[in-house]
Amino acid sequence: MTKGSERNRVIVSSVLQNELQRYVDAVIQSKAQFLPFVQSQKGGFFSALTIVQLFAKFYGKAGIDGASSHSGRRQFITNLAENQINVRIIQILARHRHVNTTMRYIDVNDVKLHKAVELACAM
């Protein structure tokens, strides 16, 4: 469920899909079908705060300082834009109602601006 309490389909890479299927085969199918997909230590759902804390922990273990669950989202959106994915596709993947919101997520800096000018001049 999203913050707007709407159900959404999540599109994942084939690599992640295979890993999730292995998890389902090993863990979920042996338990009741209405349990949370990933359970907390107490067997229930994770709170939003717990998810934020888990992301901080994962980023810390990866040696990425100052990152958050939201910065990962911003980076994903920026990476898609840098790889010339259509902004409308990015908007749908990000589940933004308005393309303007998506545009605000895309990081723009001097290095990227210079690369764009160089690319345009090379055409």
The domain limits of the chain are 1-46, 66-123
pTM: 0.71
Query: What is the structure's pLDDT at 32?
Result: 58
Nearest Cα to 38, choosing from 57, 18, 23?
23
Interval 64-112: pLDDT, tens? 988 988 898 999 999 999 898 999 999 999 999 999 999 999 999 898 8
Please check whether residue 94 is in contact with residue 79, taking contact to mean a CB–CB distance below 8 angstroms: no
Contacts of 40 (CB under 8 A, 6+ apart): 46, 50
d(CA 30, CA 27): 6
Q: Which residue has the tokens 């990866």?
A: 62
Q: How confident is the model at residue 46 (pLDDT cuts 50, 70, 90)?
A: confident
Nearest to 74 by CA among 103, 36, 32: 103
**Residues 105 and 77: beta-carbon distance below 8 Å:** yes
Average pLDDT along the chain: 86
pLDDT for the residue numbered 28: 64
